[in-house]
Chains A and B, each alone.
Chain A
Amino acid sequence: MPRPDREADRASLPSSDELAAFFAEASQAIAAAADRRQLEAVRLELLGRSSVLSAWKRALGGATPEERREVGLALNATRDGLEAAVASRGDVLAVAERAAALEADRLDLSELATRRFAAGHLHLVSQVRAELEDIFLGMGYEIAEGPEVESDEHNFTALNMPPHHPARSNQDSFYLDLDDGETFLLRSQTSPVQIRLLARKELPLYAVAPGRAYRRDTPDARHLPAFHQIEGIAVDRDISFADLAGTVATFTEAIFGTAIKSRLRPAYFPFTEPSAEYEVTCVLCSGAGCRTCSNTGWIELGGCGLVHPNVLSMAGVDPEEWSGFAFGFGIDRLAMIRYQIEDIRSLIENDVRFLTQF
């Protein structure tokens, strides 16, 4: 580091050789700065107020005009050169320091798998149910609800089920053990919601009712005593079987996409007439025939039909003025078909290894 004595301030201006030597020495000092703090110290020493360079500059005052011009230019060039060297050394050091800091912070993010933000999963049945609800909301339907404990009247009689219909037997439905009065049971289908909706006397009526229903089935791979259904009903002034077929086709497409077709084939239910079984192209084999569809290429999803005139009359709706259709199908069954679930009991085990798949 050049350390010219204070005498030089007053006394003399540097020769061009002295200046060159100073520049070389100063450049080395800048290049030797190991970090930005050292660099700043060097800069102050070389370029600050008390530096040799500043002293020389001050000494210019006493020089001849010729010297002043000549040496002044040389001094400015030296200062500019050193400032540029400091800036460039500063850049180099900044890059290196950032690189070192980054290296010191290096982290393997795959070590960090944490459950702190683990997502919960809705039950598969819930997800399918919400999807169905959204489809019908899009068609302008309301979502209706009804109790799971129903009266015999709502669950059967008002649905035109004859007094000795097999579904009414205690082999098929769960009856409640209550003292007396009305007969109550766990609803064997979501259809009693139809009756509750009709009783509101607000027509026209377009509604779906998803929910849990109960049948006395011994649990096995395909049956559970409790299952989920979605029921739909539309009552308006001029509803026909063609509207039912169109609606079924529409929601089939909404659920399964355009590749899957629906069809209706005659069936019997006491609460609808004409009645139909609602079938869709087998989603597993696309209609070619497989084990799931018993080689028919079709899968039964549910039942539907025009609301029986007796059901309307019993609910106080004039069947000559109003007509309607109703449909119902299993949400669990739909989920099982779509996700290829072999055993329905997986749906009630609540095993996290199952729940977290959906």
Chain B
Amino acid sequence: MRVPLSWLKDFVPLPTSPSEEADVAELGRVLSSLGLVFEGAELVGSGLDGVVLAHVVALEPIKGADKIRRVLVDAGGPEPLEIVCGAWNFGLGDVVPLATVGTELPNGMAIGRRTMRGVTSNGMLCSPGELGLPGESSGLLVLSSPGPGAALPAGIEPGRPLAEHLGIVPDAVLDLSIEPNRPDCLSIAGIARDLAARLKLPFVLPEPDVSGLERGEAAEALAAVETRAPSACDRIVGRVLVGLAPIASPPLVARRLILSGMRPLGAVVDASNYAMLELGQPTHPYDLDHLAGGRIVARLARPGEALVTLDGTARVLGRAPNGRGEDIDLIECVIADGNDEVVGLAGVMGGRHSEVSEQTTRVLLESAHFNGLMVGRAAKRRGLRTEASVRFERGVDPEGTRRAADRVIELVAAAARHAGAPVPSLAPGVLEDRPVPAAPVRIELRTERMNALLGTELGAGDAAELLEPIGFSCAPSEQGLVVDVPSFRPDTTAEIDLIEEVARHYGYEQIAPRSRRSPAVGRRSPSQVRRHQVMALLTGLGAHEAWTPSIIDPALEDRLGPAPERVRLTNPIVAEESALRSSVLAGLCAAARHNVAHRNPHLRLFELGAVFEAPPAAGEWPREREELGVLLAEEGDDAAAASGCFERLVEGLRLVRDDLELVQGDELDALGAAGARLVRGMHPTRRAVAWCAGVPLVGFGELDFEVAERFELGERRIGVLVADLGALLAAPERPRIARAVSRFPSSDLDLAFVLDEAVAAERLRRALAAAGGELVESLQLLDVYRGAPLSGGERSLAFRLRMCALDHTLDEAELSAARRRLIEAGEALGARLRA
């Protein structure tokens, strides 16, 4: 909200100077500390002290200069002044502003005497911008152009201060952001009330005086107001003005409206807007001669009714499309005339037909209290949030309708007096329909409760002293105070609201901070610790953590291959990005592509993030899991890198390697959807899933080359790993029991087996580990050989088993027995010992 300082001063005697930036900033600080957030100020109309009207009496070129001219002006002094000027939009006889020597302009420019090309410039002729005034800044502000030699119009005197000529007084426009719970501060008076209370200054809200205006026919005889929908409009007040003339507002009113961001349109409309800004209550003037039956009725709209609003747009009322190609009926409040035709959308905008115009002589002024929710929805639905609708939406003072109407009338009369026009008369009597008066709100404030919540030691009296100046009336009670809430504070409905008001006016900064910590020991949960380990393990592999979007374009993710049923958004920002990701791998591929495009193709990335799938059944929660994705695209990275990454995770998380079974090839089908989503986008013959106790944990392998091509990652192998992070973090850890190591010499058994390609090396490894039992200290796959003399469908796998016992040195007999068991275990899998 834009708040002119001068207007605030109508209600509270602030010492703030409008032309002192520091002063205004200090006022801003006070406002912010009240929760009326100061977002800056614009100082207007100051810095014009040395600027006077100047009459151009001569214009000559300067030798050797084609961009500047020598100007002689009459600026009220005994002799014309010589000025050098670079503007070309003025001529002989024009009256323009002159900043005299010694002036400091609003933009900070200091005017000194200068000499250019031998000509002395005794000041500067100014553009609107240089003076901080609205208008084109490419040329001078031309105030009058009577023509060369012609007499100056009345009121234009060379040497007269410009500010005086334009009626500009220095002012500061404060830009405040008002929180939605403070409708009372969507008004100058409301802000002044809060400010006065904090600064301990008097706050005076004068009663509008319209007593001298009432004459002629009674209002009742000329017009009528009525509400037929008390839930939508619980109070409607009308007053009738007769004998209006089309006049402009006085300069003060016009200027304040402009500073507040509104446009002056004529005395009646301006008065209505001015009163709204000042008091927070919107009013609406109807041209009584264009109002059938001289009557306004608040009622609910009938579906399909139509209205052409002030802005010239035809609008359908009481009905709107629901976004699914159907129309639904709406509950919204309209104003109808005596013929039951709609003349306004209540609280939002009036109708064009009954609009006040130059021809209007009689006005019915409506000041009503509408249901905020209804007004808010009606405005929003049509993208028509007006100054009025915002105020109704937040909540206007139900007791303020009459005052606002009278203030409008007072202003219209004052405008007529200022313009020298006949003063309109006010039809005696107030029209009003108020079926249900608002119930007053009374709340008890317990002193002990207040202090317990604020950490203060205030007495009931202290609280009353803070609450009374902002309109609450307090009476002592057994436990503290009984407080009557003013009608302009609809936000205050409970004790906690009063406690907040006390805190606000006491000052948050006055509440002494107390040091407080939890009685518990802070520590990460086991799975949180493991999540950090995963991150550390992966950065240890040289992988960078990425953050890719969770709201995705399904087409992009589909490049990975068939997706599970995704969760879709009803209201995406861009139509394409309409679903929640079901995999982090697609995001990583896209991130890799970004880097490829910036000539950084060699990189490793990982991400931990939520992925989503449609709920298993209607009405249930969508499925959300945390997934880990790793993309290994350093030079030479391939399935081996992915396998290394997998082993690193297993080792780093201290998982029991033998609990993990690797599933590859066709056997993956047996794992179903849970396995499939871990290998999505992976090379069908270069991928594996590790599962533990029936739960698939990790898929790893190479990115399918077709997928790599779709993501434009280049022709190369890329290692990938995807883990169900929740399952991985929950996988059993090795027992935390130290195992002694043998002090006796160990012996190596080297065994090369020839094994069918259809059997995974992993199976042989597990079989050997099992057969060797306790005696196996370590087991390593040393070498894989394919080629002659082996047949095409088999390969040789050379294992080294380091054997030892905890309590003695193994003898030959033990070793050969072990060797026999190992060979038998291999043979059980169809392997034969290679000669």
Contacts and interface: CB of A to CB of B under 8 A. Distances in A.
A109 B600 CA distance: 25
Contacts of A23: none
B525 A245 contact: no
Contacts of A206: 517-518, 520
B544 A234 contact: no
A265 B179 contact: no
Nearest to B393: A164
A295 B38 CA distance: 12
B632 to A, nearest CB: 11
Given A267-B179, A268-B35, A309 B548 contact: no
Interface string B522-553: 11110010001001001111111111111100
B453 A263 contact: no
A119 B604 CA distance: 10
Contact of A120 (B179, B503, B539, B580): B539
B504 interface: yes
A249 B622 contact: no
Given A241-B503, A242-B514, A323-B452, A137 B605 contact: no
B521 interface: yes
A226 to B, nearest CB: 6
Interface stretch (B52-60, B480-488, B493-501): B493-501
Given A268-B182, A348-B547, A139 B513 contact: no
Contact of B515 (A170, A218, A250): A250
B509 interface: yes
Interface stretch (A52-60, A82-90, A100-108, A140-148): A140-148
> Interface majority SS on A: helix, strand, loop or mixed?
mixed
A27 to B, nearest CB: 52
Contacts of A347: 547
Contacts of B619: 179-182
A109 B783 CA distance: 33
Contact of B618 (A169, A181, A245, A273): A181
A355 B453 contact: no
A296 B714 CA distance: 51
Given A176-B622, A241-B454, A266-B508, A143 B542 contact: no
B440 interface: no
B818 to A, nearest CB: 38
B544 A120 contact: yes
A123 interface: yes
B513 A140 contact: no
B513 A204 contact: no
Contacts of B460: none
B414 interface: no
B598 interface: yes
Contacts of B452: 238, 240, 323
Contact of A294 (B40, B373, B615): B40
Contacts of A351: 594-595, 598, 600
Given A180-B618, A242-B455, A274-B504, A265 B35 contact: yes
Interface in A142-162: 142-143, 147-149, 151
B550 A136 contact: no
A72 interface: no
A151 B33 CA distance: 35
B546 A149 contact: no
Given A266-B504, A268-B179, A178 B453 contact: no
A275 interface: yes
A265 B76 CA distance: 53
A168 interface: no
A96 B567 CA distance: 76
B522 A176 contact: no
A184 B614 CA distance: 12
Given A142-B520, A179-B618, A352-B603, A148 B624 contact: yes
B376 A265 contact: no
A353 interface: yes
B573 A218 contact: yes
A242 B610 contact: no
A142 B181 CA distance: 33
Contact of A139 (B37, B511, B518, B571): B518
A132 interface: no
B522 A140 contact: yes
B570 A117 contact: no
B686 interface: no
A184 B622 contact: yes
A226 B569 CA distance: 14
B741 interface: no
Interface string A172-196: 0011111111101010000000000
B591 A350 contact: yes
Contacts of A204: 518-519
A273 B499 CA distance: 9
A175 B514 contact: no
Contact of A123 (B518, B524, B545): B545
A138 B547 CA distance: 27
B512 interface: yes
A308 B454 CA distance: 13
Interface string A101-136: 000000000000001011111110110001001001
Contact of A241 (B455, B521, B540, B598): B455
A294 to B, nearest CB: 7
Contacts of B568: 176-177
B620 interface: yes
Q: Which of A142, A263, A347, A352 has the most B CB atoms < 10 Å from its CB?
A: A352
Given A120-B545, A266-B34, A348-B548, A306 B453 contact: yes
B547 to A, nearest CB: 5
Contacts of A348: 547-549
A309 B497 CA distance: 11
Nearest to A171: B571
Given A170-B571, A246-B513, A120 B604 contact: yes
B492 to A, nearest CB: 11
A139 B520 CA distance: 9
A107 B291 CA distance: 100
B43 to A, nearest CB: 14
A216 interface: yes
Given A118-B542, A141-B522, A264 B569 contact: no
A273 B496 contact: yes
A181 B618 CA distance: 7
Contact of B497 (A138, A186, A273): A273
Contacts of B595: 350-352
Given A164-B376, A350-B546, A216 B497 contact: no
B514 A243 contact: yes
Interface in A307-358: 308-309, 323, 347-353, 355-356
A118 B635 CA distance: 13
B39 interface: yes
A349 to B, nearest CB: 6
Contacts of A230: none
Given A273-B500, A274-B499, A275-B500, A349 B594 contact: yes
Contacts of A216: 571, 573
11 contacts: A121-B545, A126-B535, A137-B524, A139-B522, A140-B517, A140-B521, A142-B520, A176-B567, A226-B549, A265-B508, A347-B547
8 nearest interchain CB pairs? Answer: A242-B455, A266-B35, A181-B619, A140-B518, A206-B518, A240-B455, A120-B539, A137-B522
Interface of B: 32-35, 37, 39-40, 179-182, 373, 376-377, 380, 452-456, 494, 496-497, 499-500, 503-504, 508-509, 511-525, 528, 532, 535, 538-551, 567-573, 580, 591, 594-595, 598, 600, 602-606, 609-610, 612, 614-615, 618-622, 624, 634
Given A140-B519, A226-B551, 18 more contacts: A119-B539, A120-B545, A121-B544, A122-B539, A138-B522, A140-B521, A149-B567, A169-B380, A177-B567, A181-B620, A238-B452, A241-B455, A265-B35, A266-B35, A268-B35, A273-B499, A323-B452, A356-B544
